[in-house]
A and B are shown apart, each in its own frame.
Chain A
Amino acid sequence: DTAVSQTPKYLVTQMGNDKSIKCEQNLGHDTMYWYKQDSKKFLKIMFSYNNKELIINETVPNRFSPKSPDKAHLNLHINSLELGDSAVYFCASSFSQGAGNTIYFGEGSWLTVV
């Protein structure tokens, strides 16, 4: 039973295309996240949703648009892909109440823009 699952795992696409990455969690968490990991392995939060409401929106180009149809899903849509968008994108989830709640990560989606 995969706790946080995201698809696709690998995605190769051309510049200018639009693509989506889907994420689902079956842990009953109320908060979901998207993180980006660059080529140097540095992880940076992009978005966070709590109960389907956007609570964190870091400095991310507006070509990136998250959508949360319900608490268990948080999808990431990217328009007009650029070479610099090539990275690993991680979905994650947690309970929001109280500091120290463990964040559970998906396996990652490797995006390559050519």
Chain B
Amino acid sequence: AQSVTQLDSHVSVSEGTPVLLRCNYSSSYSPSLFWYVQHPNKGLQLLLKYTSAATLVKGINGFEAEFKKSETSFHLTKPSAHMSDAAEYFCVLSGAGSYQLTFGKGTKLSVIP
């Protein structure tokens, strides 16, 4: 069985300060991990993904995530938050096949001007 835990349901940061969205996973297989972002009334957009190559993954819009096997974590970071980053973020785990996706419950990011 596999699972994804997003440790914070809501994160609030000031514009220009760093963002940290935390994700832990559990998987019997070598995992592939994704971060998706969902803006209000929009679909899910891929931010970045890890598939057993470099453990530090860079994504779009200045986001990056580090895969830490020893900690079973895949936290998402950004050095400086922008107002347009306010959205719902999902950490997603893929197991043996791409259709075996497990979604975290999401973290809502609020950015305060």
Contacts and interface: CB of A to CB of B under 8 A. Distances in A.
A105 B43 contact: yes
A48 B38 CA distance: 21
A58 to B, nearest CB: 11
A31 B6 CA distance: 27
B29 A99 contact: yes
B44 A33 contact: no
Interface string A44-68: 1100101000011000000000000
Contact of B99 (A48, A104, A108): A48
Given A100-B32, A105-B43, A41 B105 contact: yes
Interface residues on A, range: 20 to 34
A42 B106 contact: yes
Contacts of A104: 46
Contacts of B99: 31, 33, 45, 48, 50, 55-56, 94, 96
A25 to B, nearest CB: 12
A4 to B, nearest CB: 8
Interface string B73-108: 000000000000000101000111111010101101
Nearest to B44: A105
B105 A101 contact: no
A99 B105 contact: no
Interface string B12-55: 00000000000000000110101010100111111001011000
B105 A42 contact: yes
A106 B96 contact: no
15 contacts: A31-B99, A33-B99, A40-B105, A45-B101, A50-B99, A55-B99, A90-B43, A98-B98, A99-B30, A99-B96, A100-B52, A102-B34, A103-B101, A105-B36, A105-B44
Interface of A: 4, 31, 33, 40-45, 48, 50, 55-56, 90, 94-96, 98-108, 110
Given A41-B38, A56-B99, A105-B44, 6 more contacts: A40-B105, A90-B43, A94-B98, A100-B32, A105-B45, A108-B43
